[in-house]
Structure 1
Amino acid sequence: MGRFPAKIDYENIRNARISENQARLASLGLQKTISELRSLTTPVKSPKRKYVKSDFGSVPLRRSSRLKQLNPSSPGGLIPTRRFLQLPLDSPVKSPNGKDGEEKERRPANAPFVDVRRCHSPDVSSERRCMSKGRGSIYDPVFGICCHFCRQKKLCGEEDCKRCNDLDVDQPCLGKTDCSVCHSSNGVLCRACLKVRYGEEMEEVRNNKQWKCPHCIEEEGSKPYWICNSSLCLKRRKMAPTGIAIFRAREMGYDSVAHLMMDELQRRGLKI
């Protein structure tokens, strides 16, 4: 009970001291100075600008000085503007020989985009990287065909291939596959990758005019769990690349890496 009077005395002394200090500041005129300083240091908020939507439809379009020049030969006396003329989808496509009405054939996956006979230099090619007949031994940036799996742009090692031996782009490459459905780069595989990764022989694929690449087989659904096991396609599926898995596949009795992956996906029950 003795603590409350001491606390009350302390509060009374504190309040008296505060009143004494305020009276002293008022007599010296410092209270007004403090308020003025606070008003100076307080940032003044700028008024919020009202957004006004511009009506560009009523504003006349700006024209260049070239278009303002008069041209008596053109209708209206102005120089006509140049526009890109796009052919309609049903218009005939000119053939390379210049005749109209003939539709251009679909470019195969192993055909070059440019006229390589004009831009090819003999000094660029003839870079021998390996002696593999399956993938090809000579790297050529123009005539070489890139494999979808190993991505080696080389001339094939087939003896009867006129395209890679004679550099005749009008002939098909015997050492690279071509899908009969998509005719895209996904179906271009060399002999070694076709055998190791998918368990198929080049001679059988060459004789089969209805051969389909793993991408087209997956789309039609004829082989469940049959997918392309290239590193590019596996990364798109957020799957780790298999690397050199052919040795493990052969030890387990599989013909290729694709057959090993097909059984593993089926066993795990993963959806493709």
Structure 2
Amino acid sequence: MVSTRRKDSEKGEGGAVEEGGGGQYEASRAQRIKENMERMKTLGIADLSKNLKPLSAPPSLRKIKPQIKPSNDPPRRSSRLKDAPRPVYSEKKSPKKAHTSSKKVEIHIPAGEKPEIYSEEHEKLLGESATAWTLFVDGFDDDGQRIYDSHEGKSCHQCRQKTLGLRTSCSKCSAVSGQFCGDCLHMRYGENVREVNLNPDWVCPVCRGICNCSRCRRDKGWNPTGAIYRKATKLGFKSVAHYLIQTRREGAIESLTDGDEKEGSSDALPLSVIEEHGIAEVMEQDSDLEFEGDEHDEEQDDN
């Protein structure tokens, strides 16, 4: 039952509330309070209820942020770091600075089970390109990362990676072994994938017998070359295949390396022999490229 409040105009003289409405409710309420007090006295809990502390109001759920008053004091700064540049917290790698050292470029490939010797016919099978190829663009995103795709991507025979990008097609085998990505074809064989795709008679390095991927080299009894593209180009060679074939010609190695190679050394020609061929001396600068086909090839074979 909802009580109704009387306006001051409805009150009688002396402020008493007229009968009915609010007056009846107040009288009933007072009667209930009286009955409750008598019942508590009968139970002996009237005096106990007086000692109970009132419940405290629940704390406010809203957190009040402390107000920080601005300070007029000068900022505390170490005198040791006063003139030092501010630190830059960035995850991006800064480009490597080229530096020149006194160390000469030397390529060492461990000797395999069989000697690695090429003929004049192998040199005739080396590829050429009329236009330049830009590395790390085709099949890479805007951040310079390779785009791997197990559905739309095609495998590369050299690096064994299933990524997006151009691939070659061999007119002789028409197999997956004839597929090379643009970067591997350029670094390892000195050819341009766009040019070879316009040639319907193009034959892949596997069918030509000059493939230098780790799997093909092991089948021939030779050890993998590793990442030697940058060193080979610094020595004046167009690609890894050009370096291998032109420095390991049949009949020329024994006469040129007489006294230079020690027993148990690697198959690679020493730098002194390369210089005797008229190749300019090159000083070593940075490390090898971050991506090279044979590096990824090694990872796949090890797994």
TM-score by length of 1: 0.39
Greater C-alpha radius of gyration: 2
Relative contact order (C-alpha < 8 Å, sep 6+): which is higher?
2
